[in-house]
Copies of this chain bind each other. A is one copy, B any other.
Amino acid sequence: MILAPSRPGIYARGSETVDHILKAALGVLIDEGADAFTLRRIAARCDMKVGNVSYHFPRKEMLIQVMLDEMLESYDKLLEEMVRKPGLVAEERLKLVIILCLDDIQTKRTTHLFTELWALANQSAFVADRVRLFYGKVHEVIGEYVAQVNPALSADEVHSVALFISASMEGSTPFLGHQKPWAHKMPVFTAMAAMSLVHLAKTVTSRDLAGLMTEAA
């Protein structure tokens, strides 16, 4: 089990410095990539010496872990804000979540951070764990609406559909995300996703998910 490291910074000044470091670290990762994610660049970004970063985060790994936790927490909040829309039925909510997610994917922040995260998860058990937990929540949110528009599905089937919807959206990141080759097609992509994925959620049957590969070729 991997636990969340507690955040350093006792005095008001130190606490602010920790804020600056974390913000700068995220900025470096977004703007310059994992390759440039060094203490020196992070320190330079908040006009500070390397030793000070090293003082507040004795190990670089700690900085990464705290930064990742805060970042994913902010996305959790974003996700919850999407949900809190009054006066909508499940199908409308599902459609709205799709639209808002694809909208967020277009930001530089999300496009860069999540592509980096998917790569880092290949090697780092910590990153892989946090990514898994985060998307688990995403699937829960989406699954809630899937279950409502298609009550016949079992809990596991609902999760499978939510997983497909989530993956379909995330897959747009490297291709239609911020400054990606087909970014200009995001509007039509969104229209297709909303239509196709909502239709899938409403019409898919246990039979569809059970039959599997029997008639593949």
Contacts and interface: CB of A to CB of B under 8 A. Distances in A.
Contacts of A208: 191-192, 195
Contact of A171 (B35, B36, B122, B171): B171
A98 to B, nearest CB: 10
20 contacts: A33-B120, A33-B122, A35-B123, A115-B119, A132-B181, A135-B181, A160-B188, A160-B192, A163-B176, A163-B185, A164-B189, A164-B192, A167-B168, A170-B174, A170-B175, A171-B172, A187-B213, A191-B212, A192-B200, A192-B208
Nearest to A111: B122
A209 B192 contact: yes
Given A119-B120, A192-B200, 8 more contacts: A33-B123, A116-B119, A116-B122, A160-B188, A168-B171, A196-B197, A196-B200, A196-B204
A192 B204 contact: yes
A118 B189 contact: no
Interface string A119-163: 111110000100110011000000000000000000000001101
A216 B204 CA distance: 23
Interface of A: 32-36, 92, 95-96, 99, 111-112, 115-116, 118-123, 128, 131-132, 135-136, 160-161, 163-164, 166-176, 181-182, 185, 187-197, 199-200, 204, 208-209, 211-213, 216-217
